[in-house]
């Protein structure tokens, strides 16, 4: 049991997840790419209108697949925000590439598209668009720039399941999109992720990389008599137990998303006067996926005091990323392009409030009252 009466997040069962796990056992196929894997992949391909969706062990694994598919060589560079999870950079460092960190936009907390071009160099090969909190990057600008410079675009859509940029679902605009089903995300399977392969020229190779570098998928479709090792790859497939649990969540994905967005909207409505009074800045709940509701305190001391105040009331609120450019590995493996003023300010002042599917309205009201009590004092 959590020591907090209102935790930051909480895994949940919404439908027939455990029944599906039991069915996977009865079917006698627990390793990857069985019936439930294929159901989930068909669901993703249909709902995301993507040529190929491949389930992975995690979003980290999806990013690592994306890095392989970008065909990077040691010394190549990949532009990305510093305000992101370490996996965004690690995936490309593992291929010998260098992350080039740029600052974020103060309104969206996404990569500042106005700063990308000045970060490019002769070895630039890709741009990673991280959709923080499910708020879409300026993909039109990023795609135009990428095409002009012949760069691959990878969308880190770990926060952005079923969120849109205009009419398009995030994760389907760039060449490759990476999703997360970690227990902290909207739709969950404990660990888990998916790679959406939007670029038609990458589909065949993505299957091979996914299947440990073999043409096993073509073998199962009857296209070849035997499968063999044809490229680099790894064991990126999740087990059928993970896929079976995920299938139970995908059956209710729209409902889960609606509820999380509703909760984020309630937070915004109940705390809006604090923003009007200038004591904090609230995230744009309407623009996100309902994955995160955050506020920005006025400085780091106030942020820490707010988190401590909520903790005393049994409420777990948390900060977020230590910027990658300032981390020991970030300094070793990457380089910084320009000022990181916004990134550093946001990292010092951001507070994420509790948000989970089973959160009751009364719990949300309790959190809001605790935030108000802190600012009244």
Q: Encode pLDDT of 64-108 as tens digits.
A: 999 999 999 999 999 999 999 999 999 999 999 999 999 999 999
Site of tokens 């951001």: 350
β-strand partners of 229 = 214
Evaluate if residue 217 carries a pLDDT over 90.
no
Residue 360 DSSP class: -
* Spatial contact of 66 and 154, defined as CB atoms under 8 Å apart: yes
Residue 195 DSSP class: E
For 55, the 3-state DSSP assignment is strand
Q: Encode pLDDT of 237-266 as tens digits.
A: 999 999 999 999 999 999 999 999 999 999
Q: Integer distance in angstroms from the first to the last C-alpha of the chain?
A: 31
Provide the pLDDT for residue 307. Answer: 98
Provide the pLDDT for residue 210. Answer: 97
Residue 214 DSSP class: B
Torsion of CA 70, 73, 78, 82, to 10 degrees: 120
Integer CA distances (angstroms), 355 to 54, 106, 107, 173, 322, in order: 28, 23, 21, 28, 21
**Which of these CATH numbers, 3.30.1600.10, 3.40.1410.10, 3.40.640.10, 3.40.50.800, describes 17-250?**
3.40.640.10
Q: Element (H or E) spanning 74, and its range?
A: none
Q: Encode pLDDT of 141-181 as tens digits.
A: 999 999 999 999 999 999 999 999 888 999 999 999 999 99
* Spatial contact of 161 and 289, defined as CB atoms under 8 Å apart: yes
Domain 253-376, CATH = 3.90.1150.10
Evaluate if residue 376 carries a pLDDT over 50.
yes
**Per-chain mean pLDDT for the chain:** 97
* Spatial contact of 56 and 194, defined as CB atoms under 8 Å apart: yes
214-241 average pLDDT score: 93
Burial label for 293, CB within 10 Å (0-12, 13-18, 19+), is buried
For residue 152, give the nearest of 194, 124, 114 by alpha carbon. 124
For residue 284, give the nearest of 134, 126, 146, 71 by alpha carbon. 134
Band (2; pLDDT cuts 50, 70, 90): low
351-358 average pLDDT score: 98
Q: Which residues contact 112 (CB under 8 A, 6 or more apart)?
A: 102, 103, 104, 105, 342
Q: Encode pLDDT of 7-39 as tens digits.
A: 999 999 999 999 999 999 999 999 989 999 999
Q: In Å, how far from its chain's centre is CA 189?
A: 14
113-129 average pLDDT score: 98
Site of tokens 């300026």: 138
For 51, the 3-state DSSP assignment is coil
Evaluate if residue 1 carries a pLDDT over 60.
no
| Domains in the chain: boundaries | 17-250, 253-376
Q: How far apart are CA 345 and CA 104, in angstroms?
A: 10
Q: Encode pLDDT of 288-302 as tens digits.
A: 999 999 999 999 999
Q: How far apart are CA 314 and CA 316, in angstroms?
A: 7
Cα four-point dihedral sign 64, 200, 110, 58: negative
Torsion of CA 140, 146, 151, 155, to 10 degrees: -20
Band (377; pLDDT cuts 50, 70, 90): confident
Q: Encode pLDDT of 171-207 as tens digits.
A: 999 999 999 999 999 999 999 999 999 999 999 999 9
214-221 average pLDDT score: 88
């Amino acid at each position: 049991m959590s020591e907090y009466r209102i935790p930051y997040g909480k895994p949940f069962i919404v439908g027939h997840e455990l029944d599906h796990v039991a069915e996977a056992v009865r079917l006698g196929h627990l390793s990857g790419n069985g019936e439930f894997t294929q159901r989930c992949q068909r669901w993703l391909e249909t709902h995301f209108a993507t040529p190929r969706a491949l389930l992975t062990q995690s979003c980290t694994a999806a990013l690592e697949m994306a890095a392989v598919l970008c065909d990077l060589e040691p010394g190549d560079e990949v532009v990305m925000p510093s305000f992101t999870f370490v996996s965004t950079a690690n995936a490309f460092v593992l291929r010998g590439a260098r992350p080039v960190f740029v600052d974020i936009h103060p309104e969206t907390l996404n990569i500042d598209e106005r700063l990308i071009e000045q970060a490019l160099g002769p070895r630039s090969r890709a741009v990673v668009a991280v959709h923080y909190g499910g708020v879409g990057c300026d993909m039109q600008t990023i795609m135009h720039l990428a095409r002009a410079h012949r760069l691959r675009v990878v969308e880190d859509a770990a926060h952005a399941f079923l969120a849109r940029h205009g009419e398009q679902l995030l994760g389907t605009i760039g060449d490759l999109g990476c999703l997360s089903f970690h227990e902290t995300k909207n739709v969950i399977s404990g660990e888990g992720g998916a790679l959406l392969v939007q670029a038609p020229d990458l589909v065949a190779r993505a299957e091979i990389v996914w299947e440990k570098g073999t043409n096993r998928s073509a073998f199962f479709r009857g296209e070849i008599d035997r499968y063999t090792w044809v490229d680099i790859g790894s064991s990126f497939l999740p087990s059928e137990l993970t896929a079976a649990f995920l299938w139970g969540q995908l059956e209710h994905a729209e409902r889960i998303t609606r509820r999380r967005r509703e909760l984020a909207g309630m937070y915004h409505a109940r705390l809006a006067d604090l923003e009007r009074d200038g004591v904090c800045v609230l995230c744009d709940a309407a623009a996100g996926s309902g994955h995160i509701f955050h506020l920005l305190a006025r400085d780091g001391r106030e942020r820490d005091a707010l988190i401590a105040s909520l903790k005393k009331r049994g409420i777990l609120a948390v900060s977020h990323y230590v910027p990658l450019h300032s981390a020991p590995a970030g300094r070793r493996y990457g380089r910084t392009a320009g000022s990181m003023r916004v990134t550093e300010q946001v990292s010092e002042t951001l507070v994420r409030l509790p948000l989970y599917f089973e959160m009751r309205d009364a719990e949300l009201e309790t959190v809001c009252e605790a935030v108000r009590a802190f600012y009244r004092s």
